[in-house]
A and B are shown apart, each in its own frame.
Chain A
Amino acid sequence: MTIKKGVSLYSLQDAYGRGGMGLEGTVAAVEEMGAQGVEILSDQMIRGAARASEETLAEWEAVMERHPLERVSNDIFINSSLYKNRWLTLEEQVDALSADLRLTHRLGFPLVRIVSQTDPAVIRPTLPLAEKLGITMAVEVHAGMSFDHPLTEAWIKEMREVDNPHVGLVVDFGIYCQRHPRVSTDYFREVSGVNEDVIKYIDDIFARGTDPRQFFPRNPDNPDDYEFPDELTRHFHSFDDRFYAMMSTGYENTPLDTLDEYLPYIKSFHGKFWEVTDDGEEYSIDYGRIFTRLNRLGFDGYVCSEYEGQRFTLPGEPIADLEQVRRHQELMERHLNDGKNDGTGAAQNDGK
């Protein structure tokens, strides 16, 4: 029973694209960092995706032979907004998902991470194919739409009813934030001139041990629509002030007890991070606290580094994705055994 370290190539999208490292360059970098596993987004790094050529698939296989990392998960998206004038029908969504299941099988991954807000009605029609291919379908539980979001709740309800090992969850550590990411604050301060009073108001919400999503009343008819109190809106002097407050609902301080409840369904984790600081810890997420709980619960599986700080790199600054992922792998290595053996160190790390 152990936590294993992986890297989602999402983290290295900039190095891959603008940086020109390509698929093999990024996979080799992940191997060099000491990760055991790799997670990809086939829509990002497999040319043609579900219509990939035999040549592209052979190239992927050759890359993985030269860099033998365990294939953890393929992150897929159903392009429900493919047409401008209508949403895809359920049948079309099932077709799209089936094509991605076949691709995932060809790429040698046992797990697909399905993006948040996917209609759970796709599960039953695709389950026979998933079982035949030996692939598990797991919806992402992402901050801003975690366990209490109606669409995530609907997926969980369907998952429980289907009660099949090929259906589960991938939980993103972004739901266990205890502070607003500092790099995001700096970005909005610098680029949009967001009002310091708004920044402080949001930081104070986290300081009270909760998060904006739980703190702001929600429109009962729209779970993504928040009502901001007057004591906050009086600080809104520009669209960006309101935008910052809205964006802050995308970071959650969900109680860690949710792990106890959902662990039996959790197939893998996204080790979300925005900034590994110079002292080697994530600024917003206490990895020691989460790893302690996971080890106590006996989690046996992957946590894949998922770097999101590239989004908040200041204009003109280089994106430090390789360096940040390397630091994050080191961070996870140090916390790997937190909470094991129930020793004193673990007790200190419990964070309750």
Chain B
Amino acid sequence: MFDGYIFTENSLANAEEDGKTIGFQMRTRIPYYRGIPLSMVHDVEVELDGEAVPREDIRFTADDGKHWFTLEEMETVTFFRWEYADEATVRVLRDGGLAPGEHEVLLRVSARVAYIPVPFSGEMRRTVTI
């Protein structure tokens, strides 16, 4: 029921650092209705052309890149909040980024909330052209 908040349309692009394409990234809103500390982001999953991206290749920022975290690191990040109003960026490390052409990308984000036993999640699949 939060699917519409996941994977902002037209946000996918290759990620560059020091003139080198190091992967690809996309923006997303929170699959929940309030801001939460990053430790409560239960999981972030990406599938590229039907194949799950390794969890350790995912990086996450909720403050426009001032702080990047791995998903494992995020489990202990109880200070920084992903504010409800803000989009976070999910980056997948991959030398050279996405090859030119059409790709199918799935993003799934889950938040572990205080009082519901099952995490809230949302997912969105988009066909993107690089």
Contacts and interface: CB of A to CB of B under 8 A. Distances in A.
B85 to A, nearest CB: 5
B35 A49 contact: yes
Given A43-B84, A48-B81, A83-B75, A315 B33 contact: no
Contacts of A224: 117
A85 B114 CA distance: 14
A311 B29 CA distance: 15
Nearest to A224: B117
Contacts of A84: 39, 42, 75, 112
B75 A41 contact: no
Contact of B35 (A10, A22, A43): A43
B70 interface: no
A28 B127 CA distance: 39
A79 B114 contact: yes
Interface residues of A, number: 32
Contacts of B36: 43, 79
Interface of B: 1, 3-5, 29, 33-37, 39-40, 42, 75-76, 78, 81, 83-85, 112-115, 117
Interface of A: 10, 13, 16-18, 22, 41, 43-45, 47-49, 77-85, 115-118, 187, 224, 311-313, 315
Nearest to B8: A18
Ranked nearest first, the 6 interchain pairs of A and B with the lowest CB-CB distance are: A43-B34, A44-B34, A117-B115, A311-B1, A44-B84, A81-B112
A117 B115 CA distance: 6
B115 A115 contact: yes
Contacts of B85: 16-17, 22, 45, 47
Nearest to A47: B83
Given A17-B85, A84-B42, A313-B4, A41 B115 contact: no
Contact of B40 (A45, A81, A118): A81
A81 B42 CA distance: 10
Contact of B37 (A45, A47, A82, A312): A82
A82 B35 contact: no
